[in-house]
């Protein structure tokens, strides 16, 4: 049975890259009727928090990524890592290292000065059993270091193909710190092996860790899983996607009013191309089509325009009542006065046409609330005849309905010999302050005679 895992470190909010890793693991497990395990890698006690863990879980649930086992916390499995580290020492595959941080730092600087790789120099590897026993008795703090034996490390990555890591890339490395905490590379192997993980799908930046991990698998006598390293996600300018490119966390997208289905769909297809070539697919369709072999070897670009397009497509499919509920969740509190419920609903539906994410509703409804927008003197001068005519006509009619607004605008057009954009644009601008917006007759109908007059009265010169 296929077993995958998502193993986030709860050290901050969930990055979209991490979410994509979770999605790929989820898709691969579901496609193969396998299992997905959630494991919280919280051994970095300074940076890991329960609050981040909760947020992470909330983000996963929101995205619709269901796991089958866990969450397991590494911080609750300390004795297991210690046991396996000790086992390696007993078998002569690891050793106690009593070197202090200062000594190690000094040796590293010396090595660098001599131009040799700053690998561990093997001081404690050479200690006799007796020397070790005495140091332990004297309670000298120690780490446990893994003995790296010579040789290249080779494996087949399901995405990247055959990978060869040349020997000498690293020296004997620490697996258990002096405070008893395992390092990532050690805990991850013990957990993946004991949890029966068959496929490790994770970001490319872990590729160099994989070499160390393979050595640990072998030393512990565990089978290595299949590895798949997913290429980076870049920003549109080709640099690594970061804060300066805009929202990078799942939470930010949620807060802006993206739909989980859309973000899931977008991230799943960021680097993976379904055979059908379709861009918009439901979760079930992606599960059916998912194939690691169709994950690109080269980096993918995070294209916000595509995500926006996809999200707007999903928004279009939402039923009116549900859409209203969602829009109201994102609408600023200040917009809840002024209009009765039915009119507000009408405003929201009208203003939601073409929105890409829900937060945009606040900009779109402004035209119904802002009576004090300004226009330049030049604009007012150029449009005085239209402004005056419009004002006079509207003032002289009572109970104007939608059709009558249409009629009024038509008459103005005739009288001033204006047609099309030359007519509609100034009407829209003098009544809303905007050049674009929803159906102008609907807008005027909602604003009503008094409000329209109040707005354009200010522009009569």
Region for residue 168 given its phi and psi (left: phi exceeds 0; alpha: psi -120 to 50; beta: otherwise): left
Burial of 338 (0-12, 13-18, 19+ CB in 10 A): exposed
- Give least dist CB 9 to ligand GLU, A: 4
Residue number with CB closer to ligand GLU (188 or 412): 188
- Nearest alpha-carbon partner for 439 in 324, 314, 349, 319: 349
- Give least dist CB 147 to ligand GLU, A: 22
Q: Which stretch binds ligand GLU (CB under 6 A): 4-12, 50-58, 250-258, 383-391?
A: 4-12
Residue number with CB closer to ligand GLU (41 or 172): 41
Q: Which stretch binds ligand GLU (CB under 6 A): 1-9, 53-61, 128-136, 337-345?
A: 1-9
The token pair at 390 is 């419009």
Per CB under 6 A, does 8 bind ligand GLU? yes
Among 7, 268, 323, 387, binds ligand GLU (CB under 6 A): 7
How far apart are the C-alpha atoms of 226 and 155, rounded to whole Å?
9
Residues 13-42 that bind ligand GLU (CB under 6 A): 41
How far apart are the C-alpha atoms of 182 and 174, rounded to whole Å?
8
User: By rule CB under 6 A, what string of x and - marks binding of each residue 41-60 to ligand GLU?
Assistant: x-------------------
- Nearest alpha-carbon partner for 12 in 298, 194, 259, 251: 251
Number of residues that bind ligand GLU (CB under 6 A): 7
- Give least dist CB 16 to ligand GLU, A: 14
How far apart are the C-alpha atoms of 365 and 446, rounded to whole Å?
12
- Nearest alpha-carbon partner for 313 in 354, 352, 372: 354
- Give least dist CB 41 to ligand GLU, A: 4
Q: Which stretch binds ligand GLU (CB under 6 A): 3-11, 46-54, 360-368, 380-388?
A: 3-11
Residues 160-219 that bind ligand GLU (CB under 6 A): 188, 202, 206
- Give least dist CB 247 to ligand GLU, A: 20
Instruction: Yes or no: say if 202 and 269 are a contact pair by the CB < 8 Å rule.
Output: no
Beta pairing class for 143-146 and 173-176: antiparallel
Instruction: Yes or no: say if 137 and 110 are a contact pair by the CB < 8 Å rule.
Output: no
- Which residue among 243, 293, 333, 341 is the active-site one? 243
CB burial of 281-290 (b: ≥16 within 10 Å; e: otherwise) equals bebeebbebb
Q: Which stretch binds ligand GLU (CB under 6 A): 2-10, 156-164, 373-381, 385-393?
A: 2-10
Is 243 considered catalytic here? yes
Which positions are catalytic? 243
The binding site for ligand GLU (CB under 6 A) comprises 7-9, 41, 188, 202, 206
């Amino acid at each position: 049975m296929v077993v995958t895992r998502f193993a986030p470190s709860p050290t901050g909010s969930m990055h979209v890259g991490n979410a994509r890793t979770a999605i790929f693991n989820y898709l691969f497990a579901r496609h193969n009727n396998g299992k997905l395990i959630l494991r919280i890698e919280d051994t970095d006690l300074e940076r890991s928090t329960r609050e981040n863990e909760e947020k992470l879980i909330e983000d996963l649930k929101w995205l619709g990524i269901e796991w089958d086992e866990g969450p397991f916390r590494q911080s609750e499995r300390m004795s297991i890592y210690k046991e396996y580290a000790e086992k390696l020492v007993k078998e002569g595959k690891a050793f106690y290292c009593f070197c202090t941080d200062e000594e190690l730092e000094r040796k590293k600087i010396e090595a660098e000065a001599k131009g040799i790789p700053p690998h561990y120099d093997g001081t404690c590897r050479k200690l006799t059993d007796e020397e070790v026993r005495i140091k332990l008795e004297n309670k000298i703090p120690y780490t446990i270091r893994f003995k790296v034996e010579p040789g290249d490390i080779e494996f087949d990555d399901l995405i990247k193909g055959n990978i060869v890591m040349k020997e000498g890339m690293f020296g004997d490395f620490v697996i258990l710190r002096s405070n008893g905490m395992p390092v990532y590379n050690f805990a991850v192997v013990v957990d993946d092996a004991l949890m029966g993980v068959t496929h490790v799908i994770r970001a490319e930046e872990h590729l160099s860790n994989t070499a160390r991990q393979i050595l640990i698998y072998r030393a512990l006598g565990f089978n290595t899983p299949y590895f798949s390293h997913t290429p980076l996600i870049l920003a549109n300018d080709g640099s690594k996607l970061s804060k300066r490119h805009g929202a990078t966390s799942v939470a930010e997208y949620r807060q802006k009013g993206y739909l989980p289905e859309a973000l899931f769909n977008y991230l799943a297809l960021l680097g993976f191309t379904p055979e059908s070539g379709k861009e918009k697919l439901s979760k079930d369709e992606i599960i059916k089509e998912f194939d690691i072999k169709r994950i690109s070897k080269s980096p993918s670009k995070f294209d916000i325009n595509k995500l926006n397009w996809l999200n707007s497509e999903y928004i279009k499919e939402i039923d009116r009542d549900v859409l209203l509920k969602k829009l109201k969740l994102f609408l600023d509190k200040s917009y809840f006065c002024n209009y009765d419920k039915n009119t507000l609903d009408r405003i929201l539906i009208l203003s939601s046409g073409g929105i890409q994410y829900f937060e945009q509703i606040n900009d779109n409804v402004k035209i119904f609330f802002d009576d004090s927008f300004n226009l330049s003197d030049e604009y007012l001068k150029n449009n005085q005849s239209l402004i005056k005519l419009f004002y006079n006509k509207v003032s002289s009619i009572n109970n104007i309905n939608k059709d009558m607004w249409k009629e009024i605008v038509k008459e103005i057009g005739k009288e001033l010999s204006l047609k099309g954009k030359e007519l509609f644009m100034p009407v829209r601008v003098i009544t809303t302050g905007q050049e674009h917006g929803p159906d102008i007759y609907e807008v005027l109908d909602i604003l009503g005679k008094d409000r329209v007059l109040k707005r354009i009265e200010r522009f009569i010169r």
